[in-house]
Amino acid sequence: QKEVEQNSGPLSVPEGAIASLNCTYSDRGSQSFFWYRQYSGKSPELIMSIYSNGDKEDGRFTAQLNKASQYVSLLIRDSQPSDSATYLCAVHQIIQGAQKLVFGQGTRLTINP
C-alpha cells in the first residue's frame, strides 16, 4: 500500500500566527493532492486542492507542492480559534489499477487564543 504521512500532532499555535501542516507521500506518480479539515464529530470538508508544483493561495490558506521532494504542505495565516480541527492530507493514487484517495493519519491543530 502506498503511504501518506503526516505528523499527528497535536500542533499548538497562538492566535494570529501561521500554522504550518506538512505531508509526505511515497508514490512518485501521484498527481493530485487535497487538504481536508475535519472538526470533531463532523465529516471532512475539502479546503484546498493542488496539482502543480508551487503555491496555491485561497484566502488565509496556502497549499504548497514539491513533487521532486514528494512533499505537500498547508499554511494557515492569521490563525483563528475556529481553525482548531484535524487536517487530513489526501493523495490521489492508482493502486492495482484502481483510482483512490489515500489519506494521511491527520494532524490535530489547536489555535490558542
Instruction: Give long-range contacts, CB 8 A cutoff, 24+ apart: 57-61.
Output: 61/35
Select 82 or 99, whichever has its Cβ closest to another protein. Answer: 99
The only residue of 21, 24, 34, 62 in contact with another protein, by rule CB under 8 A: 34
Given 44, 72, 73, 85, the residue binding another protein (CB under 8 A)? 44
Q: Which of residues 57-96 bind another protein (CB under 8 A)?
A: 88, 90, 92, 94
Minimum CB distance to another protein smaller for 16 or for 37: 37
3-class secondary structure, 81:
helix
DSSP string of 9-74? --EEEETTS-EEEEEEES-TT---EEEEEE-TTS--EEEEEE-SSEEEEETTEEEEEETTTTEEEE
Binding site for another protein (CB under 8 A): 31-32, 34, 36, 42-46, 49, 51, 88, 90, 92, 94, 98-101, 103-106
